[in-house]
Structure 1
Amino acid sequence: MYALITFATGLVFGLGLAVSEMTNPTVVIGFLDIFGDWNPSLIFVMGGAVAIGMIGYVIRNRRSKPWLADKWYVPTRRDIDKNLVLGAAMFGVGWGLSGYCPGPGLTALTNNPMEGFYFVASLIAGSALFHFQNHRKSN
């Protein structure tokens, strides 16, 4: 049952990305270009995501545990440190330059294979670099 719900959730998420055109970097960059040729259409996508997230919080607050897990896994840290700010800034700059964030970037492997390959390879390299740096710090 867990695998089926996970698959269905991923399918709905991917369908939402495709229908909203979040998989099209031109649309994403158009949304981020507020001082140029701005495309406000993704505001509705953002509004829908916030609404679904709010429903999720209501469900979480009313249930002692999730349907398919033993407990809720919720972040407990609330501090804002330099790593959080730097990571968010790097994510934003990368998203703004490429028009891809990780989910839609994976779809580029089929929509635009060469560009998708470069994006996914860079994503893997950046993740490996982060892992290497954190592993080195803990030793």
Structure 2
Amino acid sequence: MTHPLARPAAALASGLVFGFGLSLSGMLNPARVQSFLDVFGAWDPSLAFVLGGAVLVAFVGVQAMKRMKRPAFDDRFQLPANRRIDARLLLGSALFGLGWGLGGFCPGPAVASLSLGLPKIMIFVLAMLTGMILHDRVVRKR
């Protein structure tokens, strides 16, 4: 049996490492992200190394997960059941990319950037959360 605080402590540690990595890599700077996405203009390819590192870490994590009987803090792994590429996935991916390109943030860096206290970031996160809530209330009910 695990300690009752083990799960929240592991989540906090993971979040701190993730946030530190985002800050260290420059992912909290929307201008840097937008210049990475501007492949036909002043393209900055440096974030490709960040993305490549993230893919490598995820690959190692998935390989380790495949060898485990169950996760450390749950009864079973919570994996997606749907493996199809459908219209909802494509539309969601397009909306995510559009928001990332226009705002220079995706959800993780946006939340981590709240620590900067800038009103522009707070508005972005509020809009993002509003979209998530609307999705849960409207789309998921269908």
TM-score for both structures, normalised by structure 1:
0.92
Per the TM alignment, residue 112 of structure 1 is displaced from its structure 2 partner at its CA by: 5.2
Residue by residue over 1:58-106, the C-alpha shift from the partner in whole angstroms, topping out at 9 and shown as x without a partner, is: 1111111112211111112111111111111001001001101111112
For structure 2, the residue ranges without an aligned partner over 5 or more in a row are: 1-5
Q: Which residue number corresponds to residue 94 of structure 1? A: 99
The amino acid across from 1:111 in the alignment is L
Q: How big is the alpha-carbon RMSD for the aligned residues of Structure 1 and Structure 2?
A: 1.4
For CA contacts below 8 A with separation 6 or more, give which structure has more relative contact order: 2
Note if 1:51 corresponds to 2:53: no
For structure 1, the residue ranges without an aligned partner over 5 or more in a row are: none
The amino acid across from 1:56 in the alignment is G
Per the TM alignment, residue 11 of structure 1 is displaced from its structure 2 partner at its CA by: 0.4
Q: Name the SS of the counterpart of 2:80 in structure 1.
A: coil
Residues 1-139 of structure 1 aligned to structure 2 (within 5 Å): 1-111=6-116, 113-134=118-139, 136-137=141-142
Where has structure 1 moved over 2 Å in runs of 4 or more? 107-112, 134-137
Q: Which residue number corresponds to residue 3 of structure 2? A: none
Q: How many residues align?
A: 137
Q: Larger % of helix: which?
A: 1
* Shift in CA distance, 6/108, structure 1 to aligned 2, threshold 3 Å: closer
Name whichever of 88-97 and 125-134 sits farther off: 125-134
Name whichever of 12-21 and 113-122 sits farther off: 113-122
The amino acid across from 1:39 in the alignment is D
Name whichever of 112-121 and 48-57 sits farther off: 112-121
The amino acid across from 1:100 in the alignment is F
The amino acid across from 1:123 in the alignment is M
